[in-house]
Structure 1
Amino acid sequence: MDDKIGHRIYSCFQCRTPLSRHDDIVSKSFQSTKGRAFLFSHVMNTKTGPQEDRQLITGLHLVADVNCADCGVSLGWKYEKAYEESQKYKEGKVVLEKIKIVEEKGYQVFS
C-alpha cells in the first residue's frame, strides 16, 4: 500500500463527493456539449441512468448518463458498448465533463 499523502482526486463540483483518482484518467482530449471532458477508467460514488443508443462525434455508442450518487447532479456518461471496432477501448469507461468536476490535492488514498 502506498502511504504517501498528496494524491490528486476529482470530486463533484457541487457537493465535493470524491469521484475518481487522477491516475484513472485515460484521456483528457474528449469533448462534450459543454466543452472539454476527461475519460476515466474507474469512477466511484456515481449512479448510472438507463442505457440508450446515442450518436456521438465518434459514432454510435450505447451509453448511460452518470450522476453524482450524493447530490444527483449530471456529470457525464458511461460507454456501455461501442459499435465500431476502433472505439471498443471506451467500453466500461466514463466521461466526466471538466466543468462538473474539481481537482483536489492532498487526499490519502487507500487501495
Structure 2
Amino acid sequence: MEEVNGLRLYCCSNCRNHVALHDDVISKAFQGKSGRAFLFGHALNVSVGSKEDRELMTGLHTVADVYCSDCKQVLGWKYERAYEESQKYKEGKFVLEKAKIVRENCY
C-alpha cells in the first residue's frame, strides 16, 4: 500500500486515482455486485450519482452509485438511507468493490 504523507491509500484500479484512506475502512465483510467489497466512512475524488431505492442483501436502501472522478468507472455505491433500524449505521457510508480498487501502485 502506498503511503503519501504517512497515509495508506486505496486507488481506482483503472486509473490509479486516490479514492479512499485505509484508516476509513469500517468493514471488509461487505458484498458488492462483483464480489467482496469494503465499507468506508469516507471516499475521496469520487462523484455520486442519482439516488435510487435498491433491495440489497440486508433489505431496502436508498443508494447512489459512486464513480471515480477521473475515469468515471463505477466503484460501488453510497448508502443514502436505510429503512431498517439495524441498518442505519450505513447511512452516509461508501461501499467500494474490491475488484475496482487497489491498495498499491498508486501515483
TM-score of the two chains, using structure 1 as the length reference:
0.88
Q: Distance in 2 between matches of 1:66 and 1:42?
A: 12
Structure 2 segments unaligned to the other structure (5+ residues): none
Question: Which consecutive aligned stretches of 4+ in structure 1 deviate over 2 angstroms post-superposition?
Answer: 4-7, 104-107
Change in 2 beyond 3 A, CA 1:5/1:69:
closer
Bigger radius of gyration among the two: 1
Q: Distance in 1 between matches of 2:104 and 2:18?
A: 9
In the alignment, what sits opposite 1:20?
20
The AA in structure 2 aligned to 1:8 is R
In the alignment, what sits opposite 1:34?
34
Q: Is the 8 A contact 1:36 1:97 kept in 2?
A: yes
Aligned alpha-carbon RMSD (Å): 1.8
In the alignment, what sits opposite 2:95?
95
Q: Is the 8 A contact 1:6 1:105 kept in 2?
A: no
Q: Distance in 2 between matches of 1:53 and 1:106?
A: 33
Q: Distance in 1 between matches of 2:98 and 2:47?
A: 18
Structure 1 segments unaligned to the other structure (5+ residues): none
- Count, aligned residues: 104
Change in 2 beyond 3 A, CA 1:91/1:102:
same
Q: Is the 8 A contact 1:79 1:90 kept in 2?
A: yes
TM-score of the two chains, using structure 2 as the length reference:
0.91
